[in-house]
Amino acid sequence: MKVYLIRHGQTEANRRGIYYDEDYDLNLVGRLQARRARRKLTGKAFDVVISSPLLRAKRTAEIVNGGRAEIVFDERLRERDMRKLAGRKMMTTNRVQIWDYYSGRYDDECESVAELFQRVAEFIEELKGRDYDAVVVVAHSGICKGFSAYFEGIGDGKFLLRGARNCEVREFEL
């Protein structure tokens, strides 16, 4: 099975560099990015689009899909729950430690990297049992990091730079 993994388009929170404290929609740049991602999938068949239920991912999924397939929503594709960090500027935190699998430093303030990656692994394992030739998955940077951990391993545990840019399309084979 071919999996096309797409991070949602840009939001105002992305642009401002803050951890989400509400469910942001795409901004104009994000909608344009989603249209570009749709063009990248031109000529590629897919059976279903599976999306995070958060608005930014839902809107990206709708644009990318363009009415070609059913869109289903899966709670396991939600972004990492940043809990106490929500609303803070990213530059005021140690993002390297926040995304260090082994650190545990921020576990009392947000969902742990290990918990997030477990959700992603469960999603991928279930997906393997489905009878699809190709799927589009629309989610978040943290979910992209989880896909990286699943397919490339944990390695040194440093995941800050293993996410994806807004509307970047990655391909995986299950």
User: Which positions are annotated as active-site residues?
Assistant: 8, 79
- Length of the chain equals 174
- pLDDT(101) > 90: yes
- pLDDT(107) > 90: no
Closest among 12, 131, 132, 139 to 74, alpha carbons compared:
139
- pLDDT(119) > 90: yes
Domain ranges of the chain: 2-173
**Helix, coil or strand: residue 51:** strand
- pLDDT(55) > 80: yes
pLDDT tens-digit profile of 84-93? 999 999 999 9
- Find the mean pLDDT for residues 69-78: 98
| Domain 2-173 top-level CATH class | alpha beta
Neighbouring C-beta atoms of residue 75, cutoff 10 Å: 10
* pLDDT attached to residue 22: 80
| CB-based contacts of 158, cutoff 8 Å, min separation 6 | 96, 99, 100, 101
User: Residue 22 forms beta bridges with which residues?
Assistant: none
